[in-house]
Structure 1
Amino acid sequence: MDNCIARQPIIGKDGKIAAYELLYFQNSQTVDSPHDFHTAQAIVQFFNQLDESSFLDGRDAFLSFTPNLLMQNIPRVFDPHKLVIQVEDSVLVHPVARMMLQRYKKQGYRLSLSGFQFNSRYMNILSLIDILKINFEGISQKKLDTYLSVAKEFNLKLAAYHIDTPEARALAESNNFDYLQGTDVADISQSKAQKNPKHLQSNFFRLMAAATREEPDLEEIAELIGMDVTLTFSLLKMVNSAYFAIPNRVKDIKQALTILGLGQLRQWIYLLSFGGEGDFTDEIIKISFQRAVFCQALSQEIPDFPLAYSEAYMLGMFSILDRLLDVPLEQALKSLPVSDELKDGLIKKEGMCGSLYRLTTAYEQGEWPRVTRIAQELNLTMETISRKYLEAVDYVTSTWNSLMEPFDGSVQTTEKEADN
C-alpha cells in the first residue's frame, strides 16, 4: 500500500521547533470519504511500525482528523500529551464528532481549530479549543483583529500558517502568535541565523575546498581548522560525542580528523563550519542533513541517475547553502568543485537532479500530487519514497542526538556509516 507521511515544522515563540504537523497521504484517499476506513487502518499500521519518538524528535504532533477518523478512535494511537487533534470548523458542528472531541479533551488531548471562519454558530463551542490556527495567506489586519479578539475572549493560543514571506512572519510576530508554520523552517529563521556571515563563509569555503580536492592534504586541513577556534572546538566536540564513543578523550586535531575520516568530514562540514551559531542555524543544518541522506538514498533507486553516490548527498546538503551563507545559491556554488548537473539541478531545477530536488521539497511540504507526478518521472514508487524518507528522518535524528551528546563512557559503540 502506497502510504506516505511527512512532518512540517511548527516554530514556537523562541524560534525553536515546538511541534510537527504530520501530513498523511494514501493513494486511495479522498477528503473525508468512505476511504477514511482504509486511511484509519493505514495510520494505525504506520504508527505501530514507526519509532514515534524518533520521528517526532520529542516534539508534539499536530494531525488533522475528519469525523470518521475521530469516531474510529485514531487519536488513541498517540500519547494524549504529545498529540494536538486538528480539525476544521465544520467538524465542530458535527454532532457525533463534537461529542468525541469533548471525550478526547477530558482524556488530555489538546484541540486545534484550523481554517476558522468567523460565524456565530461556532462561538458557543470554542470553549473546547486550545489553539486557533489562522491562515495568513493574504490576510488583512482588520480580519486578523477579529481573530485576536476571539482568541483573547476564549483564552486560546494562536498559530499562524502560510507564513511564507518575511512580511507575514513580521505580522504574526508583532501580534504575539504562539506558533508559526511556513513553507520551510529555513525561510522562517534565515534572517536570524546569520550572526557573522562573512566569517562563516570564509570558514566554509576554505575547509570545503581543501576537503573536496582529488587528493586532500590532511596536514592542510588540520592547519586550517587549527587557525580557527570555532572549527577546532566543533571538531573536538563532534569526535568526543556519544556517536563515536571514543574511550579516551581526543584533544589533538590530527587524531580527530583520522577518527572522523574524510568522507564524514565532507558530510558534516556544515556542522563544523556553522555549529554553535544558535538554535536557528542548527535547525537549518538538520534540514540539510536530512535532505542529503534522503537524496542519496533515492539516487540509488533511480535508473541512470547522473550523480555518483557521494554527489547525490551533496545535492541535498547544498540545497540550503544560500540560507547558511546569506548569498545567492548560484554565487555560493560557483566556489565549490561540483558537477554542472548538480548546479543545474539546484539553481535551474533542471534534469534528473532538478527532479530529485523538487521531489524532496514537495515531499517535505506534503504536496502529494506533485510528489506523485515527479515520482513517475523518476520511475520511483511511492512506497520507496516513503520508506527512504522515514529512514532518513530516523538516521538524522539518532545521529544528530548522538553528535550533540558528550560521551560519558557508558554508551554502546555502533557501526558507523562507511566513508563515501
Structure 2
Amino acid sequence: MTKDFLIGRQQIFDRDLRVFAYELLFRDINGNAAETFGPTAASNQIIVDSLLEYGLDQVVGTQLAFVNFTRENLLSETPFLLPKDKVVIEVLEDVHIDEALIQALQDLVQKGYRIALDDFVFDERWLPLIEMAHLIKFDIQKVTPAASGWVMERLKELPVRFLAEKVETQEQYREYRALGCDYFQGFLFSKPNVVRGKRLETSQHAVLQLLAKINQPKVSIPDLARTVSMDVGLSYKLLRYINSAFFALPKQIDSLNFAITYLGIREIQRWTSLISLASFPDQPKEIVKIALIRARMCESLAAYLKLPGTEQFFLVGLMSTIDQLLEIALDDVVASLPLSREVKNALVSRAGLAGEALNCAINYECWNLDAVKFENLSLPEIGKIHLESVSWANKICRVLEN
C-alpha cells in the first residue's frame, strides 16, 4: 500500500483574529481526501503516518490540530494514538450515529479529548453528540445566519463553542462574530485582504529600505555592517539571533562586523530579512509566519531544481505578505522599494520562475491542489517541501518571539 500523502493546514482564528488552531487537510497523491481512501486500514495508515512519523509539532507548532475522523477511524480507536492535548477530534457530518459511535466518543471525552462536530445542521439524532461536543462548526456557505443563530440560542445552556467556517468576506466575519461565534476559518484569513489604507510610518519605511538593500546581490560585508548598524534595535536583535542556540555556533559573537564576516554575507542577508519582517509588532503573528513559510518554500523549490539565485526566490516569498503587514496595496508598497525588476514582477504579476514558485506556495497554502505546480516537480515532492517549510518557520518564530 502506498504511503504517499499530502498535508495542508488552514488557520482557525479566535474572535481577536489570533491563531487558535489549524485544521489539517489530507489528500493522497491523486488528490483524494483521506476519508475516501476505502478500507479503514488505509485511512488509519495515512492519518497516523502523517501525524506520528512527521510529528504534530512540526506541522502546527504550539497550536491545536483539528483532524477529521470517519466513523471507522473512531470505532478503531485511531484517535487514542494522538496526544489529547494537541488534537481536536472532528466528527464528519455524514457519520452514522448509533450506540457504538456514541460510546467511542464518550470514551474519548472521558480520556480528555476534545470533540468538534463538522458542518453542523441541527437534527434530533445529533443530541447525544451535542452533549459531548466542545465545538460546533457551521459551514456558512450552506446554512443561513438565522439558522446558525437559532442553534446557538437553543444550545446556549451547554458549554459548547461555535466556529464559522468558509468565511470569505469581512461582512460574514462581522455578522457571525456578532451572532456569538467564538472561532473563524476560511480563505478570508488565509490570503491577502487589504481592507483599508494605512500611512507608512518612517520607522517601517526604513526597515523596508534596509530589507531591500541587504538582499541586493552586490552588497559588500562592510556596506551591510554599516547599514545594519544604523538601527540599534536591529543590530541588537541580529546579534541575539546569531548567538541563539539555533545556529549552534562554537563560540558567542559579540560584534556585528565579526558576526557578518564569520557567518558570511548570504546568511546574514537571510537573518536580517527575518528580523526586519518581525518589526511589525501590531500585526498578527500568523502573517509573518505565512511569509516565512512562503519564503522558505520558494527558496527550496528553486534549490531542489538547482536553479541559480535562490536568495531571490526567498525574498519574493518573504515580501509576499508585505501589503497585509502595512495594509497598503501591494503595487504601492513594491513601487516604493528599491527591489530588482525581477522581484517586483514576481510579486505583482507572478512573472518569471520566482513568481511561479510563489504561485505554487500560495496554491498549496490555500489547498488549491489542482493549481499546485512548479516545473517538473511532482505533487508529493512539493508537499514534502511545504511541510519542511512549515517546520522551519515554526522554529524561526520561536526564536523571533524570545
What TM-score results when the alignment is normalised by the length of structure 1? 0.81
From 281, 284, 287, give the equivalent of 1:284.
287
Write the letter of the residue equivalent to 2:383.
Answer: S
Deviation at 1:203, TM superposition (A): 1.9
Alpha-carbon distance in structure 1 between the residues aligned to 2:223 and 2:37: 62
Tell which deviates more after alignment, 142-151 or 252-261: 252-261
1:10 partnered with 2:3:
no
CA contact (8 A) 1:294 1:392 kept: yes
Partner residue, 2:296:
293
Secondary structure at the aligned position of 1:153 is classed as coil
Write the letter of the residue equivalent to 1:265.
Answer: I
1:395 partnered with 2:398:
no
Write the letter of the residue equivalent to 2:298.
Answer: C
Measured against aligned partners, the alpha-carbon deviations of 1:364-387 in whole angstroms (never above 9, x if no partner) come to 23333333xx36xx3222221222
1:346 partnered with 2:324:
no
**1:7-86 alignment, distance < 5 Å:** 7-27=9-29, 29=32, 31-32=35-36, 34-86=38-90
1:309 partnered with 2:310:
yes
Alpha-carbon distance in structure 1 between the residues aligned to 2:194 and 2:284: 8
CA contact (8 A) 1:26 1:39 kept: no
1:367 partnered with 2:364:
no
Identify if the C-alpha distance between structure 1 residues 242 and 301 changes in structure 2 by more than 3 Å, giving closer, same or farther: closer
Write the letter of the residue equivalent to 2:83.
Answer: D
Write the letter of the residue equivalent to 1:383.
Answer: P
Deviation at 1:22, TM superposition (A): 0.7
- Unmatched 5+ stretches in structure 1: 406-420
Amino-acid identity (%): 24
Q: Pairwise CA RMSD of aligned residues?
A: 3.3
Write the letter of the residue equivalent to 1:182.
Answer: G
Alpha-carbon distance in structure 1 between the residues aligned to 2:194 and 2:110: 40
Write the letter of the residue equivalent to 1:358.
Answer: N
Deviation at 1:279, TM superposition (A): 7.0
Tell which deviates more after alignment, 87-96 or 102-111: 87-96
Secondary structure at the aligned position of 2:244 is classed as coil
1:238 partnered with 2:241:
yes
- Unmatched 5+ stretches in structure 2: none
1:267 partnered with 2:264:
no
Partner residue, 2:120:
116
Partner residue, 1:410:
none
Deviation at 1:81, TM superposition (A): 2.1
Deviation at 1:283, TM superposition (A): 2.5
Partner residue, 1:136:
140
Deviation at 1:63, TM superposition (A): 0.5
Partner residue, 2:109:
105
What TM-score results when the alignment is normalised by the length of structure 2? 0.85
Partner residue, 1:337:
339
CA contact (8 A) 1:242 1:402 kept: no
Tell which deviates more after alignment, 111-120 or 20-29: 20-29
Write the letter of the residue equivalent to 1:361.
Answer: I
Write the letter of the residue equivalent to 1:308.
Answer: G
Write the letter of the residue equivalent to 2:377.
Answer: L
Partner residue, 1:90:
94
Alpha-carbon distance in structure 1 between the residues aligned to 2:45 and 2:248: 41
Partner residue, 2:209:
206
Tell which deviates more after alignment, 201-210 or 254-263: 254-263
Secondary structure at the aligned position of 1:159 is classed as strand
CA contact (8 A) 2:208 2:276 kept: no
Identify if the C-alpha distance between structure 1 residues 82 and 279 changes in structure 2 by more than 3 Å, giving closer, same or farther: farther
CA contact (8 A) 2:120 2:137 kept: yes
Alpha-carbon distance in structure 1 between the residues aligned to 2:120 and 2:74: 19
Alpha-carbon distance in structure 1 between the residues aligned to 2:208 and 2:279: 18
